[in-house]
Structure 1
Amino acid sequence: MSNDPKTPSRRTTTPRKTDIWGGSSLPVQIALRGFILIFALLGILGVFFYIEQMPNGASAWGEADLEEPIRLFTSEQIRALRDDPQACIAALDGSNMSYAEVEPSSPTPECRWQAGVQISTSNLDYANPEPPVASCALAAALYIWEREIVAPAAARHLDAEVAEILHYGTYNCRRENSAQAGRWSQHANANAIDISGFRLSDGRVIGVHRWDNGGEDAAFLTEVRDRSCEIFTGVLGPEYNDAHADHFHMDMGPWEICS
């Protein structure tokens, strides 16, 4: 006779599923689901109606208004101008920018631009080389950038107005990093600008090379670099690499980068 203790039997229990409908009958469940679907559809329609009532600058499918402040969809509207030269020129015409349309003169197919403009007057002045030639989309982005980003940052950190934007130019028929091969630079299409500094109304010059000097100058430059990403698709500064140690590269190209 075995003296081994008997192993007690174990009962396996299956967790009970929670009935979210509370045991309601099938017709009631169908009605409840119908009400939920209707409320969801009403919510979606409400969102679309709300967006439709927004000013153009705040709506995802509204026309770009360069005189409006930066809104939720401003960057998307400016980027859309890259592929719609007629709408881009119309946006410039609706602003206070003075410009003249220019045709590219380079025989190199890769070094041509779409709807190029030569800026005469904008919210802020540009130092030599002046006036800068830019693709229409870049000109539109710069117009907003000057008023909505640069000017407020200068007032906040430097207690002065920006009298002139210093730059290394926009158009340059070359490949990226001036290499002999590889991808063409956005400068080849006048679709980029290199900002080297800012001359203030009190005579001070805030150079981008003073990026890491600390104090108000650095705070101003940091804010300008960071907020530029709200408008431009490509923004590169001194933290990106040594080649950008003394300027901000800003472009309206197809690749998004903020560094």
Structure 2
Amino acid sequence: MRYRVPHNPRIEHEVRHRARLARYAGLVILWLIVLLMTFVAERKIPDQHLPWKPLSVVDPVGLATRVKAAQAGADPKLCRGIMAKAGVVYAEVPERTEGEFCELRDAVQLRSGLARLEPAEAPLVCKEALALTIWERQVVQPAADELLGQGVVGIEHFGSYACRRMYGQKDGPVSEHARADAIDIAGFRLTDGQVISIASDWTDPGPRGQFLRRVRDGACRVFLTTLSPDYNAEHRDHFHLDMSGWTTCS
């Protein structure tokens, strides 16, 4: 005959009561730990590493920069406010649709406040323009100063908005260029007129190649997608930079 534990309502009630108290105590301790960590983070960790801190173009690139830039891009007013506070001048691009899947919406044209884009016409959705501004200020210019001894006055590109699918195919996924959420960087014009070209300088073992790899690595910490000549042959002459999709760095 199987033994049965005697039923005692008072003891069972006491056990349940103590279990509830233990759970509540555990939650209180957990929240105290979270509050303590937040308190320490607020005082010891720089703003660029904290996702709840406001994004600023003047802050160095940190662990939370990419996330904050993507989040700011979801709010057109906030995105424009961050760029304006950093002294970036832009013009609004009228909304339009083209074909089956191409559109310009929430796009701006950068006018001044960073190295000029060459060619100048390059409509970009605000989050892409914001990321480009951060990258130019906090990655490109410091790298040029350290490795090349001068600044960058122009950023050469192959285009931003283009109504097409990926790689110009007739079928397949739509390119981020079809929404002006990407730009293809081809090179950098220096103060003395020299041009650092991705097509010709990527494999250079000296300062020119080191500069290109430094700014590519920095782009990976700002943009959601960064593709370089290391990715495939189609990118042998440019960096593809966009703020959509899965995080990719190559």
TM-score (norm 2): 0.83
Question: 1:208 aligns to what?
Answer: 198
SS of the residue 2:101 aligns to: helix
- Counterpart code for 1:142: L
Whether the 8 Å contact between 2:96 and 2:104 is mirrored in structure 1 is: no
Equivalent residue for 1:192, pick from 182, 196, 203: 182
Deviation track 1:181-234 (CA, whole Å, cap 9, x = no partner) reads 111111111110111001111121110012012211111111111111000000
* Worse-superposed segment, 39-48 or 169-178: 39-48
- Counterpart code for 2:81: A
Equivalent residue for 1:117, pick from 99, 108, 112: 108
Whether the 8 Å contact between 1:101 and 1:116 is mirrored in structure 2 is: yes
Distance 2:74 2:105 in 1: 9
Distance 2:56 2:238 in 1: 28
* Worse-superposed segment, 199-208 or 84-93: 84-93
Distance 1:123 1:188 in 2: 24
| Unpaired runs of at least 5, structure 2 | 1-21
Equivalent residue for 1:229, pick from 220, 225, 235: 220
- Counterpart code for 1:168: F
SS of the residue 2:104 aligns to: coil
Pairwise CA distance, 1:64? 2.3
2:34 is aligned with 1:44:
yes
Question: 2:231 aligns to what?
Answer: 240
Pairwise CA distance, 1:131? 3.4
Question: 2:135 aligns to what?
Answer: 145
- Counterpart code for 1:163: V
Say if 1:203 and 1:45 are closer, same or farther in 2 by CA, change over 3 A. same
Question: 1:91 aligns to what?
Answer: 82
- Counterpart code for 1:235: T
- Counterpart code for 1:255: W
SS of the residue 1:167 aligns to: strand
Question: 1:4 aligns to what?
Answer: none
Question: 1:24 aligns to what?
Answer: none
Deviation track 1:60-117 (CA, whole Å, cap 9, x = no partner) reads 1233222322233111110112322232222223221000111233333521133100
2:208 is aligned with 1:217:
yes
Deviation track 1:119-169 (CA, whole Å, cap 9, x = no partner) reads 1112211111x1321110011001110010001111111112112111111
Pairwise CA distance, 1:35? 8.8
Structure 1 vs Structure 2 CA RMSD: 2.4
2:158 is aligned with 1:168:
yes
Tell me the number of residue pairs that the alignment of Structure 1 and Structure 2 aligns: 228
SS of the residue 1:120 aligns to: strand
Question: 1:180 aligns to what?
Answer: 170
Distance 2:91 2:149 in 1: 34
* Worse-superposed segment, 62-71 or 135-144: 62-71
| Unpaired runs of at least 5, structure 1 | 1-31
Pairwise CA distance, 1:36? 8.4
Which is helix-richer, 1 or 2? 2
